[in-house]
Amino acid sequence: MDKIVVGAAIVDGTGRLLAAQRAEPPELAGGWEFPGGKVDPGEDDRTALIRECREELGVLVEAGEQVGGDWPLAGGYVLRVWLARIVEGEPEAKEHLELRWLSMGELYEVGWLPADLPIVRALQVQLDEGRTVT
């Protein structure tokens, strides 16, 4: 059984993506990622995604379509990312150094973590095809 990490590709009503800058661990600090975290035992992916966004950002999200499939991470983990939209609250950097809304033209203006970069590309394709969270 893979160890699963979930991530939220949160897109607002104007098509901007929320990026989060890691605070820790030291080897990842300063890199940009999709907010999210580990799936707890007995928890399904979408429930974990909603919980992690509440804990890390202070928002309630609705998860839509998955971005790609299982993205490999170090240590035997896989990352699963979903398109999401905020249905309640304003995002706050509770566990990150900074949050930033990126327009589609600004997607590569931050230093994405290597594991997240191919997901950004896949997300861009999905959004270009007009696939969003309904």
**Domains delineated in the chain:** 3-128 (3.90.79.10)
Tokens standing for residue 115: 């594991």
Rounded CA-CA distance 129/40 in Å is 33
Which tokens sit at 76? Answer: 């035997």
Task: Identify the DSSP state of 104.
Answer: G
pLDDT band of 94, cuts 50, 70, 90: very high
Pinpoint the alpha helices (H) of 9-93. Answer: 45-57
Q: What is the mean pLDDT of the chain?
A: 93
Confidence of residue 115 (pLDDT cuts 50, 70, 90): very high
Beta strands 32-33; 17-22: pairing state: antiparallel
Asked whether 67 and 122 are in contact (CB, 8 A), the reply is: yes
CA separation for the pair 6, 113 (Å, rounded): 15
pTM: 0.93
pLDDT at 55: 97
Q: What mean pLDDT do residues 5-16 have?
A: 95
pLDDT band, very low/low/confident/very high, at 81 (cuts 50, 70, 90): very high
Tell whether the model's pLDDT for residue 132 goes beyond 80. no
